[in-house]
Amino acid sequence: MTHAQTLELLKQARSRFTQREIAERVGKNAKTVGRWEKGETPCPTMLEPALRDMLQTQAICNVTSDHRFRFVDLFAGIGGIRMGFEAHGGECVFTSEWNDFSKKTYIENYGDHHHFVGDIVPFPAEDVPDHDVLLGGFPCQPFSIAGVSKKNSLGRPHGFECTTQGTLFFDVARMIATKRPAAFLLENVKNLLSHDKGNTFKVILQTLRDELGYDVHYKVIDGQHFTPQHRERIIIVGFREKTGFSWDDLHLPTDSPRLASILHKTDGTEPVLSWDEDRFFDHKKCVVQPKYTLTPNLWAYLQAYAEKHRAAGNGFGFGMAFSDSVTRTLSARYHKDGSEILVNQDKKRPRRLTPRECARLMGFPDTFRIPVSDTQAYRQFGNSVVMPVMREVARIMAPHVQALIAHERDGSPLALPLFA
């Protein structure tokens, strides 16, 4: 086999695996694989058996996998909703995410085995693969309290008057109208319910129920049932036909975990992750890297800022979090000063959460890789979903989706699932 043929085989493998996965299989590092791809160094012909084995194994897995339904992942971010639905038998067949940094994280963790597009707005709905469930965490800035306040201060429109983000809901509606999936799940901030005195949400429900004809259910769920973070989000689910779906089947743990459960362990038990190495935590010294502790100037500024607003009778200020507490909501601005969640360090200045701790705070497993800078990672986790919430909602949705699929395929009755 020639170098060119091996390179072509490598390209095929890269369409299904990350550089790191290939590197681990062939005994090299990811940077070396990157140099082969770019042609900076010749791709060794001796790789051919390993690459063919990877592709063949993947093909076998695809044939034997037990996927119960197909879904598309719109406004995907870093795939928190996707991960929840994959846990209950879903197969992702199409992804849309416009942010290049989020796309990098997404592909690093899920691969790019299917059609991945950036901006969904100009993409023809009829070109989206057929699917059973549409997932969409459509942008929330036009509806969030912070987003509305910022746009008001700048004299800009918000909600459906925001021409860049607020109208993205209608692109979701366009997709549903064209593809008619068995079900959908949409996620947004709690403030969507009250925005514009409830008119925004009223339009959304009218569109989904009256115009598209779906049986719609919605509920505000607080992520602190699953992770130590107060994070309320509205979940809107809909089914093409009336089913026995009920929020009563949702299992929300009553014993909220505490911050200590997601913090790096300084007693020698912190897991060593090869993909993190010592980026966030010094495993030899058993301490969080010092760069996450606030500088004296920043700490002094935050204290003075909080005192100023306290004197004025406002509630603005930093949020100190302790090992036995639940944090405030992690936001996309966390990279700026970390003020909403500062980790107490007793007599030392407080520190920010590390990106790995943010991943844990959002319910992502430690196998989730963070290939971007800290700034981008903070933005991504601040914009993400609490993954276990999505996994639990997927659990109670999946049987109804499967019943709809079977009903359409062979006329099976829409039996009501019995949950334990």
Give the residue numbers marked as catalytic: 140
Query: Rounded to whole angstroms, how far apart are CA atoms 190 and 222?
Result: 10
- Cα–Cα distances (Å) from 407 to 135, 177, 179, 241, 320, in that order, read 21, 20, 17, 10, 52
Q: Estimate to the nearest angstrom the gap between the alpha carbon of 102 and the chain centroid.
A: 9
Query: Rounded to whole angstroms, how far apart are CA atoms 417 and 243?
Result: 10
Query: Rounded to whole angstroms, how far apart are CA atoms 331 and 146?
Result: 10
Q: How wide is the angle at C-alpha 385 spanned by C-alphas 159 and 65, nearest 5°?
A: 125
C-alpha distance across the termini of the chain, in Å:
56
Structure tokens at 187: 């996620």
Contact predicate 374/217, CB 8 Å = no
Instruction: Tell the burial category of 2 from Cβ atoms under 10 Å away from its Cβ (0-12, 13-18, 19+).
Output: exposed
94 sits in which H/E element: strand 90-96
